[in-house]
Amino acid sequence: MSSAGDIIYKAFMPTLKMVLCIMLGFAATKKGWLTAPGAKGLGAIVVQITLPALLFSSMVTAFTPDNIKAFGPLVVVTVLYQLLGLIFAWIIRELFYVPIDFRWGILVSGLTSNWGNLPTAIVQTMAKESPFNPAVDVDLGVAYIAIFIFIMNTTFWGLGVHRMCAWDFQENRRRPDQPSLKERWSSQLELTKGKITKWTGMRNRHAGSNIDMESQTIPGMEMMGIVEDKAAQDNNFGQNNIEPYIPASNSPGNSSQEIVPMARIPTVDNATSLRRNSSKASDIERTSDPAHSTHESDNVLLVQPLWKRILLTMYDLPNVTKAIIISIPIATVQPLKSLFAETEGWSGSRMPYGPDGNPPLHFVIEFSSFLGAIAVPGALLLLGASFARLRVPKNWRDLPLGAIIALTCSKMILVPIFGIFVIQAFRDHTSLFPREDKIRTFIAILLSGTPSQVIQLVVTQTYNPDGTAETLSTFLLLQYAVMFILSTALAAIALYIVER
């Protein structure tokens, strides 16, 4: 087992690389080399091209029919981290003051995490040394991280969580200022006391009352009496040759009751003819109404074959999600995988090599790896550029420091503590995290303590009519400032647990 100094050194070196990349992005922005349009273009390249390429090459190479079983346990852990972060964010919003333009955004920050570039940079460095297997665990670690990214994209984009960032700027969804915590709890306590007093008073009143059985009636007897009286009344009308009248049903706009003779009430045949005439009139009205015709034509267009709807849904997915969906069947179906990478029992025998001695489509994996190498440093440069453009208020007292510190502690301390103990329990008492798969345990613990994802910054700026996200920036700033210390500590703890 490595000494404490070796473990801390191994955990700090990947963090140091991340810090240097972020500092370069910060300096390049301050110098004017990385302008806002340039950062936007670089962000599109990273998200739409290089990161999908990195995930595709890593997953196809690393996943096999045996280790694809890790998909289920990692999905469970991902959902647990998301739910716990969401619960903490909701509690923070209830206990602390949060600006009006971030009362829905704080829930998004608690639910989402930066499971892309940050842990990938750490894994690509630490998996090259013991106790990991450099030949396998580097790509396998990136593939495991891809599962977290897949669930995050499904939650943020597929389930529409990104729309919550817009609710802070919509008048019908904005949450007004809340009273102080003391006032809210005091009013709630008074309300509860009133309910208890009312309930006990009603109970005592019912207990002290004597029930007179002779005065009790069976429910519905009054209505039966009314019916009998009405029948007798109708019979009396008939004997005296008086035509009975009944009240017509009230229309929504009329408060008066129209008296209609029974002779004018339509019979079954008359009612049928009336329905036919009404149907014809409604058909004529629909034909003459262009808006209704357009609506019907839209409904006809929505009726499409299933394969077309599937293709349209796939087309609207983020490129990262597409890469993950495509790579999973290629990695797990042996004949397909043998086209791209070395596959035991297939490469060289059932699937012949190309002239260069590699599988026929191995150049696709090489190209994806070459292109994907830009993803992590490019994303870190963008993160530094985002910090360089932050506009922090001059007076720190104007910031919601209580909520900022609480959210940072929940994301970077409380959820990691939960992850450390839960993953160890899964490893020691279940088969979800086997001891021999060290990189799986390391990834599951490491990804429990990552800051909120930076893509929320872009989405919030898009939804905000002013085009800014200053409140979110202040929340992110503290998380990423302490990340260098807390991520190093968490990586060291995860490495110590893996080596035990």
Q: What is the pLDDT of residues 262-295, one digit of tens each?
A: 444 445 455 455 444 544 444 444 444 444 444 4
Residue 366: give its domain's CATH number.
1.20.1530.20
* % residues pLDDT > 70 (the chain): 75
Give me the residue label for tokens 């899964």.
426
What is the domain range of residue 68? 4-174+312-499
Average pLDDT, the chain: 78
Count of domains forming the chain: 1
Q: How far apart (Å, rounded) are the C-alpha atoms in residues 166 and 160?
A: 11
Q: What angle do CA 462, 48, 66 make, to 5 degrees?
A: 125
Please check whether residue 71 lies inside any domain of the structure: yes
Please check whether residue 350 lies inside any domain of the structure: yes
Q: How far apart (Å, rounded) are the C-alpha atoms in residues 495 and 46?
A: 29
pLDDT at 414 > cutoff 90: yes
Q: How far apart (Å, rounded) are the C-alpha atoms in residues 237 and 225?
A: 18
Q: How far apart (Å, rounded) are the C-alpha atoms in residues 93 and 89?
A: 6
Instruction: Check whether the bond before 131 is cis (ω within 30° of 0).
Output: yes
Please check whether residue 413 lies inside any domain of the structure: yes
Q: pTM of whole model > 0.85?
A: no
Query: Per-residue pLDDT averaged across 159-188, rounded?
Result: 75
Task: Name which residue leads in pLDDT, 52 or 416.
Answer: 416
Partners of residue 246 on adjacent β-strands: 260
Query: Per-residue pLDDT averaged across 62-71, rounded?
Result: 83
Please check whether residue 460 lies inside any domain of the structure: yes
Please check whether residue 221 lies inside any domain of the structure: no
Task: Name which residue leads in pLDDT, 227 or 137.
Answer: 137
The reported pLDDT for the residue numbered 282 is 47
Task: Name which residue leads in pLDDT, 185 or 13.
Answer: 13
Q: How far apart (Å, rounded) are the C-alpha atoms in residues 109 and 99?
A: 14
Partners of residue 267 on adjacent β-strands: none
Residues in the chain: 500
Least confident of 38-47, 358-367, 402-411, 412-421: 38-47
Give me the residue label for tokens 């495991």.
144
Q: How far apart (Å, rounded) are the C-alpha atoms in residues 422 and 435?
A: 15
Q: What is the pLDDT of residues 291-328, one digit of tens each?
A: 444 444 444 445 678 777 777 877 777 788 888 889 88
The answer to whether the beta carbons of residues 308 and 36 sit under 8 Å apart is: no
Q: How far apart (Å, rounded) are the C-alpha atoms in residues 186 and 180?
A: 10
Please check whether residue 230 lies inside any domain of the structure: no
Please check whether residue 358 lies inside any domain of the structure: yes
CB-CB neighbours of 305 under 10 Å:
8
Which pLDDT band, with edges at 50, 70 and 90, does 453 fall under?
confident
The three state secondary structure string of the chain is CCCHHHHHHHHHHHHHHHHHHHHHHHHHHHHCCCCHHHHHHHHHHHHHHHHHHHHHHHHHHHCCCCHHHHHHHHHHHHHHHHHHHHHHHHHHHHHCCCCHHHCCHHHHHHHCCCCCHHHHHHHHHHCCCCCCCHHHHHHHHHHHHHHHHHHHHHHHHHCCHHHHHHHCCCCCCCCCCCCCHHHHHHHHHHHHHHHHHHHHHHHHHHHHCCCCHHHCCCCCHHHHHHHHHHHHHHHHHHHCCCCCEEECCCCCCCCCCCEEEHHHCCCHHHHHHHHHHHHHHHHHHHHHCHHHHHHHHHHHHHCCCHHHHHHHHHHHCCHHHHHHHHHHHHHHCHHHHHHHCCCCCCECCCECCCCCCCCCCHHHHHHHHHHHCCHHHHHHHHHHHHHHCCCCCCCHHHCCHHHHHHHHHHHHHHHHHHHHHHHHHHHHHCCCCCCCCHHHHHHHHHCCCCCCCCHHHHHHHHHCCCCCCHHHHHHHHHHHHHHHHHHHHHHHHHHHHHHC
Please check whether residue 89 lies inside any domain of the structure: yes
The reported pLDDT for the residue numbered 254 is 46
